Amino acid sequence: MGVRIKGLGFYVPGKRLTNFDLEKMVDTSDEWIRTRTGIQERRIASNDEATSDLAYQAAVQALQRAQVKPEELDMIIVTTATPDYLFPATACIVQSKLNAQNAACFDVEAACPGFIYGLEIARGFLELPRYRKVLVIGAETLSRLVDWEDRNTCVLFGDGAGAAVLEKDNTDHGIISSYLKGNGALGQLLILPAGGSRRPATQDTVQQREHYIKMQGREVFKYAVTGMQEAALKTLERAHIKPEDITWLVPHQANIRIIEATRERLGIPEHKVYVNIAKYGNTSAASIPIALTEMVEEGKIKEGDLVLLVSFGAGFIYGGMLIKW
């Protein structure tokens, strides 16, 4: 018995923030951002939109496409680093909005690879007899945690959500293999220092701007490339598949140069790599489900395709997943 994605959906807020807009906010340029990251614009949630609102929109689309009613869901997993609250879980808020009254719900904080972690957790549950339909959502409003005075980080991130409905499947389609890994010793290189139990919010933490993302970009870059490569190769090895045999590489959209370096190291031709970073920037856990939804909408992914997902993020954690579509 396998596990297969039955429907996908995504949602991004309407407001576009272009590189030219950023030129007016910090000392940067469209040219620098484009050549260093591949990003041209990103979407920004409106003041009355939180992560659960984005997640809900993506979920509604995924459920429609999977032809699954909210009450049929056995579980809702939201993967996010930017929950509405520390508690209750964003998944509970989404459950309430959907009126998915039969679903268990919880959040997973696994940064950028969150969606891959979420799929793997869903797969585990779906291998048990009791669970039949699971909704996995990657959703972020990183614009709320970005320091809009820090040019090193504010140009990189965007808001969005992507969702997938997973079901048991008795064909040979679906999730084939995966690889999840952590390296917690390097956590300080990408961190949001305050607001948790280590550094609760005080006047001092606010004044020190500790409620914003702090990142040592060059170091993160280096580990991202090696982590993505390791995750891709181990995932393929576990499935006895060679890099040249995959149809699509769908990498986390963090930086075009990270994607390009990963692609080169794997020896995968450019036309097999899906890239949409120019439109959305780094949407963390939402980046892979947004990409997958677009690919399906555009008819790029076809039945039987071998699709390799790979991601890396704060923790550090990284992971890969191979899916036969």
Q: Which residues are catalytic?
A: 112, 252, 282
Q: Is residue 318 a contact partner of residue 228, using CB atoms and an 8 Å limit?
A: yes
Q: Rule CB under 6 A: is residue 28 a binding residue for ligand ACO?
A: yes
254 binds ligand ACO (CB under 6 A): yes
Residue numbers 110-149 binding ligand ACO by CB under 6 A: 112
If one asks whether residue 255 binds ligand ACO (CB under 6 A), the answer comes out as yes
Q: According to CB under 6 A, which one of 141, 235, 282, 283 is a site residue for ligand ACO? A: 282
Please check whether residue 252 is in contact with residue 314, taking contact to mean a CB–CB distance below 8 angstroms.
no
Given candidates 155, 163, 317, 321, which one binds ligand ACO under the rule CB under 6 A? Answer: 155
d(CA 311, CA 325): 19
Return the number of the residue (125 or 221) whose C-beta is nearest ligand ACO: 221
CB-based contacts of 279, cutoff 8 Å, min separation 6? 40, 41
For residue 152, state whether it binds ligand ACO (rule: CB under 6 A): yes
Minimal CB distance residue for ligand ACO: 217
Alpha carbon distance 30, 182 (integer Å): 34
Q: What is the 3-state secondary structure (H, E, C) of 76-133?
A: EEEECCCCCCCCCCHHHHHHHHHCCCCCEEEEECCCCCHHHHHHHHHHHHHCCCCCCE
From 95-103, 197-205, 216-224, 296-304, give the range in contact with ligand ACO by CB under 6 A. Answer: 216-224
**Integer distance in angstroms from the first to the last C-alpha of the chain?**
15
224 contributes a contact to ligand ACO by CB under 6 A:
yes
The reply on whether position 313 binds ligand ACO by CB under 6 A is: yes
Say whether residue 291 binds ligand ACO (CB under 6 A): no
Phi-psi region of 22 (alpha: psi -120 to 50; beta: other; left: phi over 0): alpha
Burial class (CB in 10 A: 0-12, 13-18, 19+), 259: buried
Nearer to ligand ACO, 131 or 318 (CB): 318
Q: Does 231 bind ligand ACO (CB under 6 A)?
A: no
Applying CB under 6 A, among 177, 217, 260, 305 the residue interacting with ligand ACO is: 217
* Site residues for ligand ACO per CB under 6 A: 28, 32-33, 36-37, 112, 151-152, 155-156, 190, 215, 217-218, 220-221, 224, 252, 254-255, 282, 312-313
